[in-house]
Structure 1
Amino acid sequence: MATFRFDTRVAHDPDRVWAVLTDVSMIPKWFPAVQEAHFDGTHRHLTTAEGTLKSLVVTEDDTLRRFQYRFVEGMPQPIDFHLGTIDVLPDADGSRVVYSQEILPEALAPIVGIARYFAVRG
């Protein structure tokens, strides 16, 4: 299983960062590989230059500021397992955003590995 974990410090209040990261329409602003995004009540639909990815929302916990999702459609080959997790933690006078992904088969790792380039902006 391929596993990735990236983190970044953001000079904004954790609640503000959480609000941006959980607003699906804002994804193209902080993750440039996504051109458009919308939520249908169960799934997030993310349009990229390569096509559309569909992800199932697994967890959206406002208290923990934890968001988890699973890609269910749109990868170039079948997915055996995927779990993406975003945690927003207090960090001094700002926030620490921790973004992790686990995926099988490992051949899909380069695709989800581009997440290291995400940029949270205020």
Structure 2
Amino acid sequence: MATFRFDTRVAQDPDRVWAVLTDVNLIPQWFPAVREAHFDGVHRHLSTPEGTLKSLVVTRDDELRRFQYRFVEGMPLPVDFHLGTIDVLPDAHGSRVVYSQEILPEALAPVVERAVGAGIEGIARYFATHP
């Protein structure tokens, strides 16, 4: 199984960061590959230049500020296992955002790793330009 983790620090209150990152409608503003996004009550639907990804929301814990999801449709290969996790933690200067992934088959790791790397950079950019 491929596992990786990215993190960034932002000078924003953890509750504000959490509110932005869990608002599906705002995903296109911080995740570069996503053009449109909506939530149907169970799944997030993310439109990208390559097609639409469907992910099942596994965890949304407002107290811990932890969000987890699993891709269920739209990946370039069948997914045996996937778990994406976003944690928003208090930090001395605002918040630390940790974005991690676990995925099988490992052949999908480079695609997901590139996208999540761009996503974490997008998070830093979003909060730097939206004080």
TM over 0.5: yes
Q: Any residues of structure 2 matched to 1:1-122 within 5 Å, and which?
A: 1-114=1-114, 115-118=116-119, 119-120=122-123, 121-122=126-127
More helix by share: 2
Matched positions, count: 122
SS in 2 for 1:34: coil
| Deviation (angstroms), 1:13 | 0.1
Asked if the contact 2:10–2:93 (Cα under 8 Å) also holds between the matched residues in 1, the reply is no
SS in 1 for 2:20: helix
Asked if the contact 2:10–2:94 (Cα under 8 Å) also holds between the matched residues in 1, the reply is yes
2:28, 2:21 → 1: CA distance?
Answer: 10
Runs of 4+ that moved beyond 6 A: none
| Deviation (angstroms), 1:8 | 0.2
- Superposition TM-score, scaled by structure 2 size: 0.91
Any stretches of 5+ residues in structure 1 without a counterpart? none
The one-letter code of the counterpart of 2:13 is D
Any stretches of 5+ residues in structure 2 without a counterpart? none
The one-letter code of the counterpart of 1:36 is E
| Deviation (angstroms), 1:93 | 2.9
| Deviation (angstroms), 1:103 | 0.2
1:112, 1:76 → 2: CA distance?
Answer: 10
